[in-house]
Chain A
Amino acid sequence: MSENNEKCQCQCGCGGKDEREEKLVQIIKDCNYDKSQLMHILNETQNIFGYIPMRAQKIISEELGIPMAEIYGVITFYSRFSLEPKGKYNIAVCLGTACYVKGSQGILDKLKEILGIDVGGITPDGKFSLEATRCIGACGLAPVMTINEEVYGKLDPSMIKDILEKYQ
């Protein structure tokens, strides 16, 4: 069970008015409330919030007239979508076949050890979050991980510490 933060968590003193929510409503409007645009809207929501909180799902459900259960089903189907907030830097380790064979589990274990978090977790300072993904299509560079949009290939567990230091 995932209990997401329900109230606006911004610290800007807006008194609960969340610009991100307004932006989401606008995006849905721009899509002409078209149900078939659900994937696109979820993608945008993920970009706006960094994850897809319950309140965003409620907005999508109400505006598009799609049941919450269906939206939640789509979100949990695709690993790209997250129900948990992500860190400033989101680290994704590929566990696709090629990367796995080339030892990406060792990379993931090393990251867990250094960051002190599990897959799906976020460091207490909100800086790093960690996820395991399916094949990202960079098998030639296996094993691969990404930090936000940056791709790191041909990895070895011993390289991890140095890479993370760049983001400290």
Chain B
Amino acid sequence: MEKVKITIDGIEMEVPKTYTILDAAREAGIDIPTLCHLKDINEIGACRMCIVEVEGARGFATSCVMPVAEGMVVRTNTPAIRDARKVTLELLLSAHDKKCLTCVRNKNCELQTLAEKMNIDELEFEGEMERHPIDDMCPSIVRDPNKCILCKRCVAMCKKVQKVGAIDTMNRGFKSVVGTAFDKSLDDVPCSLCGQCINVCPTGALSEKDATKEVWKALEDPTKHVVVQTAPAVRAAIGEEFGMPIGTLATGKMVAGLKRIGFDKVFDTNTGADLTIMEEGTEVIERIKENKNLPIITSCSPGWVRFAESSYPDLLNHLSSAKSPHQMFGAIIKSYYAEKAGIDPKDIFVVSVMPCVAKKAESKREEMNVNGLRDVDAVLTTREAARMMKQAGIDLNTIEDAEFDNPMGEATGAAVIFGTTGGVMEAALRTVSEILTGKELEKIDFEEVRGEEGLKEATIKIGDMDVKVAVAHGLANATKVMDSIKAGTCDYHFVEVMACPGGCVNGGGQPIHDAKTRATVDIRGLRAKALYDADKNLPIRKSHENPVIKKLYEEFLGEPGSEKAHELLHTHYHKREYFND
């Protein structure tokens, strides 16, 4: 690659010609403040926090978009720059609802961090402020435009990465606001509720709908038996909320923390994931044998399901009818477990800790109940679970590890990788091949479906059959698969789709990192690695070998796909109006 010589703050360096000044500065270890910049996603030079002086150039350059050039001399820290940045920040702050103490992003806010870094000790501009209504009508996401600084990171994420475009910038000038068409609630527009917008918001303008209060209330109720279950991806990220390095697997500490909060039982959604594999795998085998509605597409990502319901309502027959793992598990807790433990299912309150905000809306879907009882009563994000722990004075750094509770605590390696892109596919393939061939797999790692590529394809030999599979993550990639089905050019048998890029490890409910960390650390890769390591170290790595699952079918469900299994573990989908009037 062609290189150029530049000097930044007296440091001479040689960098690729394609670099921006910001890229070069970061490589030199020089910290230039940014706000609107989100590497490869939102590079618009709008906030002007990253301005620098370029010798010989007129005015300041926005370093996040300005390419380097041969012989360029850059200064990032001069009195003029410090002053200009400070005024810019003060102006942004003057239009910001500065309720930091009660903000969900207190101490994890890029605007707050900058105010500290820039030594803002006084607010000079106290002019008029636009007031906007808060959108809290949606079961998953709350939008508070009064905290928005118009960086448009959320818009770029929604429009460019997810290809959804539920939000955009409305009006102009002083009245500009990020919102939806006709000021609708996110619930009434084609928002998938993936929550990726929350994860890229530098402030508290976007957040999950809080469920901590209702969970505390249930915990305080002596008549309730409160059970919590945790999704695979949560254990690979919750430690970050307590300052642990990204990619720390904190399973035992997470379980201990939840027990300390006061949950009566701590179960593993992974057991539910194993159950999903049994049900979905059976469906895969049936549909391939009957050549019916192929490809069959996974349905465990509720953001994906919602997207399909509003954008591809004619293709819903391709989705597996299997409920997602936590919904299945909720239904089992309120039936099988209730019976075993001798507890009236009406007194059981099931809480799911999920890396996801779409799960909140999913759990409230009308179909997600058995005999009038909700499968799951409340969904907490990874962030909310950590918040509750902190509220209870629990520090995961110092707590002793604990184990999941029995009788539902056993799960396999196949289930733990559900949390990353390709994981559901791999788990399903392990089970489907062994069931179809009746032979033990020589190698159970299906590396061809792992990794970061947006749309992965593979042909897997099962017996004498060539099974064509695909794995899509991020809704833009899902669109490619759906469009090919629509066009009649799709020859896959089985497709895994996850709404979030990278899968659940990078879900909309996971710990939030600032734009610089996102640009310089492979967050989802490290979290995924933690899950693959966990898989490798587990004694049982195939869902159909899980003794809890075997027993569950023997004692209660009969066999996968049975009438009872259908009643408890399967669901259906319906068209969603693309845009509600």
Contacts and interface: CB of A to CB of B under 8 A. Distances in A.
Interface of A: 1-2, 6, 54, 57-58, 61-62, 66-73, 76-77
Given A54-B581, A58-B579, A70-B159, A2 B168 contact: no
Contact of A73 (B169, B190, B579): B169
Given A1-B183, A57-B181, A68 B579 contact: yes
A69 B166 contact: yes
Grouping DSSP codes into helix (H, G, I), strand (E, B) and loop, the B interface class, with mixed when no group exceeds half, is loop
B189 to A, nearest CB: 7
B181 A69 contact: yes
Contacts of B167: 69
A72 B182 contact: yes
Given A68-B182, A77-B171, 16 more contacts: A2-B183, A54-B581, A66-B165, A67-B165, A67-B168, A67-B181, A68-B180, A70-B159, A70-B165, A70-B168, A71-B181, A72-B170, A72-B181, A73-B170, A76-B170, A76-B171
B166 A67 contact: yes
Kindly list the 5 A-B residue pairs having the minimum CB-CB distance in the complex, ordered from nearest.
Answer: A67-B165, A72-B181, A68-B181, A69-B168, A73-B168
A81 to B, nearest CB: 12
B172 A69 contact: no
Nearest to B179: A69
Contacts of B169: 73
A62 B190 CA distance: 13
Interface in B167-194: 167-172, 179-183, 189-190
Contact of B172 (A1, A2, A76): A76
A71 B189 CA distance: 13
Interface of B: 159, 164-172, 179-183, 189-190, 578-579, 581
B544 to A, nearest CB: 43
B158 to A, nearest CB: 8
B581 A67 contact: no
Contacts, number: 53
20 contacts: A1-B183, A2-B182, A54-B182, A66-B165, A67-B159, A67-B165, A67-B190, A68-B182, A68-B579, A69-B165, A69-B166, A69-B167, A69-B168, A69-B181, A70-B165, A72-B170, A72-B180, A72-B181, A77-B171, A77-B172
A117 B496 CA distance: 57
A6 B580 CA distance: 11
Nearest to A67: B165
Contacts of A61: 579
Nearest to B175: A76
Contacts of B168: 67, 69-70, 72-73
A63 to B, nearest CB: 13
A133 to B, nearest CB: 13
A73 B189 CA distance: 14
Residue in B166, B167, B170, B179 with the greatest tally of chain A CB atoms within 10 Å = B170
Question: Which has the most chain B C-beta neighbours within 10 Å: A2, A66, A69, A71?
Answer: A69
A6 B181 contact: no
Give the residue among A1, A6, A66, A70 with the most B Cβ atoms within 10 A: A70
A61 to B, nearest CB: 8
A6 B168 CA distance: 23
Contacts of A67: 159, 164-166, 168, 181, 190
Nearest to B176: A77
Contacts of A69: 165-168, 179-181, 189
A6 B581 contact: yes
Contacts of A62: 578
Contacts of A1: 182-183
A66 B179 CA distance: 16
A151 to B, nearest CB: 25
A85 B115 CA distance: 45
Nearest to A62: B578
Contacts of A76: 170-172
Contacts of A6: 581
A77 B175 CA distance: 10
A113 to B, nearest CB: 25
Max count, chain B CB within 10 A of own CB: residue among A6, A54, A68: A68
Nearest to B167: A69
A69 B171 CA distance: 12
Nearest to A1: B183
- Name the residue in A6, A61, A72 with the highest tally of chain B Cβ atoms < 10 Å from its Cβ: A72
Contacts of A66: 165
Nearest to B177: A76
A76 B578 CA distance: 21
A69 B172 CA distance: 14
A62 B168 CA distance: 17
A53 to B, nearest CB: 11
A1 B188 CA distance: 14
A73 B164 CA distance: 15
A77 B169 CA distance: 9
B46 to A, nearest CB: 15
